[in-house]
Structures are given as structure tokens and as C-alpha cells.
């Protein structure tokens, strides 16, 4: 359900589903917005193969770059020593740089292409961005969301969802970085990091060496600079998404489809139906208007990762079933998000933020809103050390910043969310449907807090008890039979954290 998390492609067919990674906004009354060409969302079936395969089309939009006159690092004239070096200018890296600049902390952001647009799209709950002062960073907002549990059961959620404007958000963060005059940008790739007692140095592929009291890795999941002392047994969210121009589609324009677990589109695909029953995928859909829609087929979490080709084949079948003819593919995106697993070793010489820091929601894949909220917390911890008259550096600095991002209470709640992920890994399609049927029956404070990572550990325990109370008998049986092992694992990890 994610960020991330979480996606485009080409051809003539599309569907509706959900995932917690992308957003957008467009408000049209549902009475006008619904396509009434007798295509009922749950029952419209196309028996013709003339719609073809959208995978044959190529995305038409080219990569975009921001037009900024950045303060570049000049090796010949600038000092090569900074307070903080941030590797990566994605949402996490830029947000942290922008927050550090408010304290006058001297920062250098190193990235191979600082002005290029982020490749992934992001979807967030609108109230989360509003609370952070980022309400002006949306492409589109939907006033409500919905979840299709099965062919006959739909959950309507009274919570606004938005698609983040990558251009607006990156521009806002860039402007914040530049306005305080303490940040430099260096266009390069980091090859190596070396550490001394009170400073670290990075070696770049252009031969330049830069030094700082603290290096922060914000370069993403593939980074090798952050160390782990436990096996990285992640779950994986994988998705294929497309922004497409279509002849028509059967979705309400004022509703974002967060999750669509229906499988009627696989009725004539017995092999896909069997695999989907064991490792289900859902559709995530953002209708912009009657002819423009973003669609994403998503595996919420699997271990090992579900085949990307399998995800695309299911998406083709779904779009044909819905009768969506794709005229043009504007963008396509492959999304792969590691979820759960152990946290990095705490503390260590390299600080981390973003995908490699463990902040991805283990049960949903959401990250970007949480990063926007946690970066100021980490910036404050860094400023208390490097901005103080005592200049706290070395091991005391690493200890403070890592524990600033991951205090004990936050580690406890992450273990609980990881418990949720481990439970979801054990559910088939029917079990997943029963789970979300009960989950979205909870008090809005509980399900919204869970998805937004803002419940305390005690509140998460109460949520679990309430979930069991509202679950159907088959769902309770799932909980009783499939939760003991993940529960024991969580208790063991909590015990180790408490030592």
C-alpha cells in the first residue's frame, strides 16, 4: 500500500485498484462522474480480444528537469569541508537538507543529477501533508476513497487522498534549501566513504574528496553504505503502473480507488486465477478525468518478490475485463519496495534517511509523508550536536542522531507494523479480503492512525483486540492459526530492543 511507495507502462487496457504509493486530485460530483454506459463496475465484462495488449505501447512523456540556478560546489574555490554531506537528492535527502539549512548547518548535497525529476509518483493522505504545511504540493485531490473487498462488497472511506506533484514538492524543497545560503550541490556519484574519529570523507567518481562531521545516506534501497548486523529478510511490494489516455473508463471521478481485490477479470485465465488466489494483487486507480487515469497493479507484500511479468499479465487481464481501451501511454513505472526486515545497525558512522533507514511502513509501503515528518526530527537532533558550542562529534554524534530517528518507542511500533506484514504474508486472497473487511470497519482513528504510522504501541495493541472483535469467524481462525509465529517473533525482537 504504498509509497511508495509506491508505476506506469504502455497499451490498450486499464483497471482500477489501489496502492499506497501515488496520489492525485480531481473533484467531480459522483452523479456526473460515473460512466453510465451500462458498465457496472462489478459486472462489466468484455468478451472480445480486440483491445490488445497495452504492453505494446511506449510511454510518450520524456524525463523532466527543474530549471534552477543551484549553488554548485566549486573544488577550486570552495572549502571541501562541511558540517553534513547528504548523498542523494530524492524527497528524503532534500527535505533533510532544507530543514538543516534553517539551523545554519553547512550542507553539501551530492547526487549524479540533482535537477532531474524524481522517477516515482507518490500518493498520500491529504491531512498528512496539510499538517506539514505541504498542502500546496498536490497534482490532484480526491475527496473520498474506496476499497473493493470483492464483487459485492465495497468500503467507502471518508478521507481525502492526493497525488503528490513531484515538481511542486521538489521546487518547494529546493527553494527552501537555497534561501538560507548554507547549502551547496555537487553533481557526482559517491564511490567510497571513509571515517576518522571526528569526521568522514566521501570520494566521488569525478575525483573530488569532500569531508564532513556527518555523512547521511539518502540514496535509496540499493545503497551499500549503511550496515546491518541481521539478515535482511524483507518482504517486497512490487507494482506496475501506467498513466494513460483512454477512450473511456468506468470509475467515479471523485473517488480514488485505494484497493480493488476483485478477481472476476481472471475468470478466463485459470493459471492466473490460481496464482492470484495464493499471492493476490490489487488495483490502485486515480481517475483525473473521463479520459485520463493512473492505474497500478500491486502486490501488497510477498516473500520472495512476486514476478514482475506476473503482475503485468494480471493487469492486462484486468483492463480487458473492464473494457478500457488505451489510446496512449504517457508514463509507466515499475515500483519495487523492500518492506520490514531489520533496522540498520544502531548507531553507526553513516546516518541514513529514506528507504535505507527502515522508515518504510512495513505493512503498507507508505513512506513519503512519514519522511516529510521525520526529517525535521532528525535535523533537530543533528543541530543540537553540530550547532552547539560544544560541537558534539564522533560516536556521541552518531548515537544521538540514530536514536533521534529511532527512539525506543518508535522501534517498538515498527516491530508491531512488521508483525502486521508477517501476518499479511501468510494470507491468501480470501484471507486478505476478510482482513481488510474487518480493518476498515475499525474506528477511523485506528485505521487512519495505523496507515499513517502515528499510533503508539499501546494503541496498536488495542487496535489488534478491536480487529479480532470485528473480524468474521473465518478471519479469527486465520488470526489464531497464522499469527502465533509472527507474534512470537515480534515478542522476541521487543525483548531484545528492551535489553
303-317 pLDDT, tens per residue?
A: 999 999 999 999 999
Mind listing the pLDDT tens digit of every residue in the chain (499 residues)? 544 433 333 333 333 333 333 333 333 333 333 333 334 343 333 333 344 478 888 999 888 899 989 999 998 777 789 999 999 999 999 999 999 999 999 999 999 999 999 988 899 999 999 999 999 999 999 999 999 999 999 999 999 999 999 999 999 999 999 998 899 999 999 999 999 999 999 999 999 999 999 999 999 998 999 999 988 899 999 999 999 999 999 999 999 999 999 999 998 899 999 999 999 999 999 999 999 999 999 999 999 999 999 999 999 999 999 999 999 999 999 999 999 999 999 999 999 999 999 999 999 999 999 999 999 999 999 999 998 666 899 999 999 999 999 999 999 999 999 999 999 999 999 999 999 999 999 999 999 999 999 999 999 999 999 999 988 899 889 888 888 888 888 888 888 777 7
What is residue 492's predicted lDDT score, i.e. its pLDDT?
82
Q: Is 347 exposed, middle or buried (0-12, 13-18, 19+ CB in 10 A)?
A: middle
Shortest CA distance to 282 belongs to which of 244, 239, 248? 239
Shortest CA distance to 347 belongs to which of 411, 414, 416, 419? 411
Q: Is 78 exposed, middle or buried (0-12, 13-18, 19+ CB in 10 A)?
A: middle
Shortest CA distance to 28 belongs to which of 246, 330, 256, 285? 256
What grid cell was written down for 403?
Answer: 536514536
- Helix runs in 187-242, H state only: none
Half-sphere exposure at residue 61, Cβ-oriented, CA atoms within 13 angstroms: 17
What is residue 388's predicted lDDT score, i.e. its pLDDT?
67
Task: Give the β-pairing of 161-164 and 123-125.
Answer: antiparallel
Helix (H) or strand (E) segment spanning residue 194: strand 190-195
| Cβ neighbours for 92, distance < 8 A, ≥ 6 positions apart | 218, 353, 354, 355, 357, 371, 375
Task: Give the β-pairing of 200-204 and 209-217.
Answer: antiparallel
What is residue 64's predicted lDDT score, i.e. its pLDDT?
87
What grid cell was written down for 474?
Answer: 473465518
Q: Is 188 exposed, middle or buried (0-12, 13-18, 19+ CB in 10 A)?
A: buried
What is residue 76's predicted lDDT score, i.e. its pLDDT?
77
Helix (H) or strand (E) segment spanning residue 138: strand 138-142
What is residue 35's predicted lDDT score, i.e. its pLDDT?
39
Which residues on adjacent β-strands are paired with residue 302?
Answer: 236
Amino acid at each position: 500500500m504504498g509509497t511508495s511507495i509506491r508505476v506506469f507502462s504502455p497499451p490498450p487496457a486499464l483497471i482500477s485498484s489501489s496502492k499506497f504509493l501515488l496520489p492525485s486530485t480531481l473533484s467531480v460530483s459522483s452523479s456526473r462522474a460515473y460512466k453510465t454506459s451500462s458498465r457496472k463496475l462489478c459486472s462489466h465484462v468484455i468478451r472480445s480480444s480486440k483491445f490488445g495488449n497495452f504492453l505494446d505501447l511506449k510511454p510518450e512523456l520524456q524525463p523532466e528537469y527543474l530549471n534552477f540556478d543551484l549553488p554548485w560546489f566549486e573544488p577550486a574555490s570552495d572549502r571541501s569541508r562541511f558540517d553534513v554531506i547528504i548523498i542523494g537528492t530524492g524527497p528524503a535527502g532534500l527535505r533533510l537538507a532544507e530543514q538543516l539549512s534553517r539551523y545554519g548547518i553547512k550542507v553539501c548535497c551530492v547526487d549524479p543529477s540533482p535537477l532531474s525529476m524524481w522517477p516515482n509518483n507518490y500518493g498520500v493522505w491529504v491531512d498528512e501533508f496539510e499538517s506539514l504545511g505541504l498542502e500546496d504540493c498536490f497534482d490532484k485531490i480526491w475527496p473520498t476513497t474506496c476499497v473493493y473487498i470483492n464483487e459485492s462488497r465495497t468500503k467507502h472511506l471518508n478521507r481525502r487522498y492526493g497525488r503528490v506533484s513531484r515538481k511542486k514538492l521538489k521546487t518547494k524543497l529546493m527553494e527552501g534549501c537555497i534561501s538560507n545560503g548554507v547549502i551547496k550541490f555537487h553533481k557526482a556519484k559517491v564511490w567510497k566513504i571513509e571515517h576518522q574519529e571526528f569526521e568522514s570523507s566521501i570520494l566521488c567518481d569525478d575525483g573530488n574528496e569532500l569531508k564532513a562531521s556527518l555523512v547521511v545516506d539518502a540514496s535509496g534501497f540499493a545503497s551499500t553504505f549503511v550496515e546491518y548486523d541481521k539478515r535482511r529478510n524483507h518482504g517486497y511490494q512490487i507494482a506496475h503502473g501506467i498513466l494513460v489516455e483512454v477512450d473511456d473508463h468506468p470509475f467515479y471521478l471523485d473517488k480514488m480507488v485505494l484497493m480493488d481485490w476483485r478477481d472476476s477479470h481472471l475468470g478466463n485465465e485459470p493459471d492466473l486465477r490460481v496464482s492470484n488466489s495464493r499471492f493476490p494483487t490489487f488495483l490502485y486507480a486515480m481517475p483525473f478525468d473521463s479520459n485520463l487515469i493512473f492505474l497500478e497493479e500491486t502486490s501488497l507484500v510477498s516473500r520472495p518478490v512476486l514476478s514482475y511479468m506476473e503482475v503485468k499479465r494480471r493487469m492486462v487481464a484486468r483492463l480487458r475485463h473492464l473494457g478500457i481501451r488505451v489510446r496512449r501511454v504517457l508514463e509507466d513505472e515499475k515500483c519495487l519496495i523492500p518492506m520490514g526486515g531489520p533496522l540498520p545497525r544502531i548507531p553507526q558512522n553513516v546516518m541514513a534517511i529514506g528507504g535505507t533507514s527502515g522508515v518504510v511502513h512495513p505493512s503498507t509501503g507508505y513512506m513519503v509523508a512519514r519522511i516529510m515528518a521525520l526529517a525535521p526530527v532528525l535535523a533537530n537532533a543533528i543541530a543540537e550536536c553540530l550547532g552547539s558550542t560544544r560541537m558534539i562529534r564522533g560516536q556521541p554524534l552518531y548515537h544521538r542522531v540514530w536514536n533521534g530517528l529511532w527512539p525506543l518507542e518508535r522501534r517498538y511500533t515498527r516491530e508491531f507494523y512488521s508483525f502486521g506484514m508477517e501476518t499479511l504474508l501468510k494470507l491468501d486472497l480470501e484471507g486478505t479480503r476478510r482482513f481488510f473487511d474487518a480493518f476498515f470497519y475499525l474506528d477511523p482513528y485506528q485505521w487512519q492512525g495505523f496507515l499513517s504510522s502515528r499510533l503508539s504501541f499501546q494503541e496498536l495493541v488495542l487496535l489488534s483486540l478491536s480487529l479480532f472483535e470485528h473480524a468474521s469467524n473465518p478471519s479469527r481462525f486465520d488470526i489464531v492459526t497464522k499469527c502465533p509465529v509472527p507474534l512470537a517473533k515480534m515478542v522476541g525482537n521487543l525483548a531484545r530492543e528492551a535489553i
